[in-house]
Each structure stands twice: as structure tokens, then as C-alpha cells.
Chains A and B, each alone.
Chain A
Amino acid sequence: METRTRRTAILGLGSVLMGDDAAGPHVLRRLEAEYELPPEVELLDLGTPGPELAYIIEGLDALIVIDTIKAPGEPGELHLLRREEILSGQGAPDRLSPHDPSLRQALVAASLLGRSPQDVLLIGLVPGESNLGIGLSPGVRAALWGATALVAAELERLGYEVPRRKEGVWGEAWWEREDVG
């Protein structure tokens, strides 16, 4: 296997307080529980970042993003998009408010700095309900497994070894427990 010195990050986007918007953070937890990840791969539960998303991704070689996505389909349906598709996304609004992270904007801004990641995969889950409240709808919860496996497959494609853990360390997410303790 070729030597890896590249920088890779996996971002979970979305608010854990907004129903299905928590899908991204959930996938990160699941990934950590099910796989042994290489130390040089960074996992970031970013919540709902603003323009700083650009500064988080700039300088990376590879980027995997898990987020909810406004797209046709049933709750939990997965859509995969690569860098060029994200950048050319016709009809995608350019958003640079303090609160609407636009992956496209972030990629453009990082290019402007000359430091945009080249290997980009967006794993988008179609949400059911994204209203205030904790908990996923059944369709999205069922899709977490598939989204997690897709992240692992992408890491392997990038040349990393990601063995499955023999015993999962799966537990409830802190925001779903009665008490965090």
C-alpha cells in the first residue's frame, strides 16, 4: 500500500436538537463505534457551522461530509455527490449567512485560498422531520448503517485500512440519553 501522509477529515453536519438534522453527528458516532479508524483521519461534529466551514476544510486533501440534503426521495434515502457535482450544482443557492453552511461556498472559498480539498464526497440523507426536538425518524435511523458503511468504503478507496471492530462500543448518543452523566 502506498504511504499515506494526506490529511483527511470526516464532517458530520447538522443540529442534534433538530430531529433528523442530527443524522450527520449520528453517523460519526456510529463510525467510531464500528470501525478502528486511522489516527490521521479527523472526525468533526460541527453542528451547524457558518462561513468558518471554509477554514475548516481548506488545506485538507480529502473530505467526507455527512449531512441532510434537500432532494427527492423517502426519508433516509442516500444521495452521493462528488466535488465537481457540488461545485456545479445548478440552482443551488449561494449562502453565506452566519448560519447556512453551504458546502459549495466553502469549496469556492477554499479554492480562492488555493487550498481546496480535491477528493470530496458528500453523503446526503433525505430527512423526514427537521423540527425542534431530539430523535430521528424511523427511515433516517435505518439509513445510518448504510451511510456509515459508505464512509468506511470511501476511506478504503482513499487507501486507508479501516477494520471493523470485533466488539462494537455502541451506545446511545449523549443528546438522546436521559442524562449525560
Chain B
Amino acid sequence: MAQRIVVDPVTRIEGHLRIDVEVDGGKVRNSWSSGQMWRGIEVILQGRDPREAWLFTQRICGVCTTVHAIASVRAVENAIGLEIPLNAQYIRNLMLAAHGLHDHIVHFYHLSALDWVDVTSALKGDPNKTAQLAESLSPWQGNSRREFQKVKDKLADFVASGQLGIFTNGYWNHPAMHLSPEVNLLAVTHYFQALEYQRKANQVVATLGSKTPNIQNLAVGGVANAINLDNLTTINMDVLYKIKDLLAEVRTFVEQVYVPDVIAIGAMYPEWLGYGAGVTNYMAVPDLPLDAAGTKFDLPGGTIMNGDLATVKPITHFGDPYFKENVSECIARAWYDGDWTRHPYEEETVPKYTDFQDDGKYSWVKAPRFDGHPMQVGPLAQMLIGYASGDATIKTEVDSALAQASAIANTKLTPAVLHSTLGRHLARALRAKLLASLALKHWDLLAANIGKGDYTTYNKPELPKGEQRGFGFHEAPRGTLSHWVVIKDGRIANYQAVVPSTWNAGPRDAKGQLGPYEASLLGNPVADAEHPLEVVRTVHSFDPCLACAVHTHDPHGHEVARVKAL
């Protein structure tokens, strides 16, 4: 007997982000960011062996698996004072850099480009003119007239067959879309090419980590990869060169496609360099450690307050007290029992759901604060901190990108424009460029260290009696991630994960200070309240780790639209 059913796998743990905005006079006047599902990994980990925590934490989220595994082993290593071998550090760094590259490429092309690019307009693009335009932007070999024609044909077939499946969340013909058909065709072509390169980045993670999304090669104390240049089943020369080739290909794509695309598209929407700043306190943690102890890094960390680059203060090493002592989380406006602000070691996770209350509790996400301040995290934070602290590479890249964008936009753009919706996209692209070149540098470091005859990848952990506390941080694709663990007699007594999307998507705190998503939306234009594309643009620019639902209200609080934006 035939039975009609709906294919709809049960909604997952990570849950949905709900954004409520009040629009008046074509602008957002108030906003609320709410996580709609509870994630309580802490509860599952209590009483377990801390050496196994990473297996569970990498299941917190189906997409950001690797980053939660890394932060967890770093936290436990910090708690028991364990250094890991240099090889392990480099192997982890290769995976982290490759994962970041994968994430940044997918985020721009597959999760947010369609906020700016009109797929149906691409059908009107002239492949010849597109090729001319593309040549003026980049030497990329995939920019031929034939390639653009091919994609245009493919797109036409797809539209004709009514299968615009993967583009269903596009806002076609929205008044806020204004790229030429040629630029749209260029971007859509790169959308397809990006599919191939994000996969190459992921292959690096899979080759080292055994499997993605859930890697299997980590251990408290290092990595489980054996190195033996003569053994086919371990890390050997073939494996190393395969990784190097993949990384080199990804670097070319990032340098010749991703970065020029973001600069060009950004310069064609200059008004979006003026919206979306929000919270201009920034934080990043240093990453890609260069030594066993985690005291020297290739990616900078620190804080900037009130958008003033002169206030930059560094976070320098694993265990840095400047980070450790200043992080807290507030639950005054979140669905937990109480209204405390506590350090992660002292937190408890006791859910207490109320309805969505504008003036009360309205989110499952806690509000993290640094010395009491909301902080914006993510690639923009890291690039600004590098820029402010005089990191030569970052300064060169940022200045060069701004000069190129200025030329296209025909106006002088200064670093101040980075505090914006498009600034976040540009910073992410530049961070990808940095990651691509650093990944190859860490490949060289690994190969050189193995060349010296050092094959060590693991230091065995010992769990002492008594209580230890530790934290591990990682500058994940979406920003600063930290895991905090309290161990008692070899068992986990408390565990908290303070994740990037919590810093950015968190609600108000006890003092009523808005979180970064909320603050960034104030003043955003909304041309059509039933299709609030502009709100989606700003929220997407953070690389949200939650699918979002946008609700627009009129000044009297009546709901105008409920938009499922992905």
C-alpha cells in the first residue's frame, strides 16, 4: 500500500537562530537574537574521563566537528600541564588551517554569496563581456569565455527543468540587488568552481584525520598519526606530497578567485561598508602554534575596544591569564535558572524555559562577556588585531585589498570601512589567503622536523589525583572558541564550551547590553519588510552557525513577516 509521507529528518541539536527586528521608517530600530534550541554538552560530559571528552565534544555540532575536538584536547592538556610534540602541533595546524579554508570558501560562495548575487540575472550575462571583466580582475585559468558559456547553459537547463534546488533561498529581483548580469555570471561560475576547491581543502583534513566530519586522529597529548616514511599505512612521503599538492591548489583558488571576487563584489556595494558595525569591541585568540608549549603563534590574538585600534592588547599564549580571568557568561536574559554572571569554571547549566519575552528571557544562548563587555569575534576581529598590532603580512594584505576596492568603487576606502557587514566578508577572504600560505609553511615545518629524524607524535597523559582546571582556546573559522574543564580525581567535574556563535549571537546581558548580531542590525535599511534581505545580509556576514529565521515587526510589535532565511 502506498503511503504518502514527508521526508524531513528530525531537526538537529544545533537548532535555529531566530532574529526579531522592529522596522520603522525603512530602518531597523530594535532587534533580538535568539537561539531556539538548547545545547547542553556539559551535562553529558560530567563524570567522564577527560581524555575522552573530545570524542563527545566534536559531536556538539555537525559542521564544526574538528574545532570542538581541538579545543577539548587543548583544555585537558592545559589542565594537566602537558605539552605535545612538535610534529603533533604541526599536524593539528595543518588540519585547522585546511578546515578553516574549507569553511571560509563554503561560507562565501555557498552560504552567503546569493545574498548579493542574483542567479536569474546571470542568465542574461554575456560570456564574452564576462571573460573580459574577469581578465581585468584575475589571471585565473577558469575565467574563459567557454567556461562562462558552459555555466550559463547549465543554469538555463536547470531553470528550464524547474530544479533550482540549491538556489532556493535566493532573493531574485530584490531591489537591493544591483550587480550587472556579467558580474552575476562570473560569481555563479565561481560558485560551481568553489565546490571543487572546498572539497580539496576538506581532503587534507580527511587525509590526516582519517575521516571527516568526525576526525579520529586526536589524542590528549598529541595525535594518533604514526610517522614512518617507509610505511604505506602511516604518514609517509606520498601522503605528505598529496597534502602539499592539495594545499597549493586551494591557495591558487583563494588568491585568484575568492579574494578578487570579494573585493570586486564588495566595491560594487559600497553602501554596505557603512552598515552592520554593531559591537566594535573585538577579540581573537592566537593560533597555529609554532612551539610545543604554545607560546609563539602565526595568527595573532588580542582585544580591541570601541573600534579604537590603539587599544589593542595581546593574548599571547595558551593559558594566558588575560584571557582566562576576563571571560564570563551571563544568563540574565537566557533560558537558564537564575540571573548570574559567572566564570566558565563556576557555571552550571540548569535550563528554565519561559516564553520569548522581549524584556525578559528570550534565548537558549548565554551572553558571554569579556571584562563585562560584549565582544565581536571572527575573522574581522583577527585581521583588525593583526593590523593594529603591526603584523606586517596582515597590514600589507588589508591595505592592498582596500586599495583595489577603492579603485573599483572610485572612492578612497580606509580601514574604518572594515567595521561593517562587508568588512566581515573581506576580512574572512583575507584570512583565508593567510591560512592558505600558512598551511604550506606548516607543511614545510613538519617535513623539516621529520627530516631531522623526529617521529614523535604523542606524549602519554597522566591524570593526577585532586583537582585541576584548564582551558583550551582555538581561533575557529567563526572566531574564538574556548573549552573549560574542571577535573576531580581523574573525572570531569565541570565542562563548559564558550563558542564563537555564542559571543556573536548571544542575547542582552544583565546590564541590557546588546550582543553583536543585535547591535549590528540597528540602523540597517529594510526596503521591503516582507523580504528583509538586508537583515539576512548582515546576519550572514558573521557566518552564523545556526540557521536563522527572521521576523520583522512594525513599531507596534505586529508581525509583518516571518522569513525562513538559511
Contacts and interface: CB of A to CB of B under 8 A. Distances in A.
Contact of A96 (B38, B158, B169, B544): B169
Given A15-B62, A47-B59, A132-B40, A96 B168 contact: yes
B547 interface: yes
Interface residues of B, number: 54
Interface string B62-82: 110100000000000000000
B561 interface: no
Interface in A34-84: 44-52, 54-55, 67-72, 79, 81
A95 B566 contact: yes
A180 B50 CA distance: 11
A48 B7 contact: no
Most A C-beta atoms less than 10 A away, residue of B11, B48, B61, B169: B11
B547 A99 contact: yes
Given A48-B14, A99-B63, A132 B39 contact: yes
A54 B9 CA distance: 16
A69 to B, nearest CB: 6
B106 A130 contact: no
B545 A98 contact: yes
Contacts of A71: 5-6
Given A47-B59, A94-B165, A180-B55, A101 B9 contact: yes
A51 B211 contact: no
Most A C-beta atoms less than 10 A away, residue of B49, B166, B544: B166
Contact of B154 (A48, A86, A112): A112
Interface string B105-147: 0100011000000000000000000000000000000000000
A67 B5 contact: no
A86 B165 CA distance: 13
A13 interface: yes
Most A C-beta atoms less than 10 A away, residue of B10, B40, B56: B10
Contacts of B239: none
Interface in B8-31: 8-16
B49 A49 contact: no
B73 to A, nearest CB: 14
B158 A99 contact: no
Given A17-B44, A47-B59, A108-B166, A92 B6 contact: yes
Nearest to A86: B7
Contacts of A130: 10
Contacts of A113: 192, 195
Nearest to B163: A108
Contacts of A14: 9
Given A55-B199, A95-B566, A180-B49, A100 B12 contact: yes
A174 B56 CA distance: 10
Chain A contact residues, majority secondary structure: loop
B213 interface: yes
Most B C-beta atoms less than 10 A away, residue of A16, A21, A46, A100: A100
B305 interface: no
Contacts of A179: 48-49, 52
Contacts of A98: 14, 63, 111, 544-547
Interface in B537-554: 544-548
B526 to A, nearest CB: 22
A45 B48 CA distance: 23
Contacts of A171: none
A79 B5 contact: yes
Contacts of B49: 179-180
Contacts of A51: 106, 110-111
B546 A99 contact: yes
B547 A100 contact: yes
Nearest to B102: A52
A82 to B, nearest CB: 11
A86 B48 CA distance: 40
B213 A47 contact: yes
Contacts of B6: 70-71, 89, 91-92
A43 B214 CA distance: 13
A105 interface: yes
A109 interface: yes
A109 B547 contact: no
A89 B6 CA distance: 6
Contacts of A105: 165-166
A53 to B, nearest CB: 10
A15 B48 contact: no
A152 interface: no
Contacts of A55: 195, 198-199, 202
B43 interface: yes
A45 B7 CA distance: 20
A15 B60 CA distance: 8
B41 interface: yes
Contact of A13 (B9, B40, B169): B9
A134 interface: yes
A113 B3 CA distance: 31
Nearest to B114: A96
B9 A97 contact: no
Contacts of B154: 112
Nearest to B55: A180
A88 B262 CA distance: 36
B171 to A, nearest CB: 14
Given A49-B62, A109-B165, A179-B48, A72 B5 contact: yes
A100 B9 CA distance: 8
A102 B535 CA distance: 25
A103 interface: yes
Contact of B166 (A52, A67, A112): A112
A18 B13 contact: yes
Interface string A113-137: 1000000001010010010111000
Given A46-B213, A108-B165, A174-B55, A101 B195 contact: no
Interface in B415-474: none
A104 interface: yes
A79 to B, nearest CB: 6
Nearest to B106: A51
Given A122-B7, A132-B13, A133-B44, A52 B213 contact: yes
Nearest to A17: B59
Most A C-beta atoms less than 10 A away, residue of B13, B52, B55, B548: B13
18 contacts: A17-B13, A46-B214, A47-B213, A47-B214, A49-B213, A51-B110, A52-B63, A52-B213, A70-B9, A79-B3, A99-B15, A99-B61, A99-B547, A100-B12, A108-B165, A112-B163, A132-B44, A134-B44
Interface of B: 3, 5-16, 38-41, 43-44, 48-49, 52, 55-56, 59-63, 65, 106, 110-111, 154, 158, 163, 165-166, 168-169, 192, 195, 198-199, 202, 211, 213-214, 544-548, 566
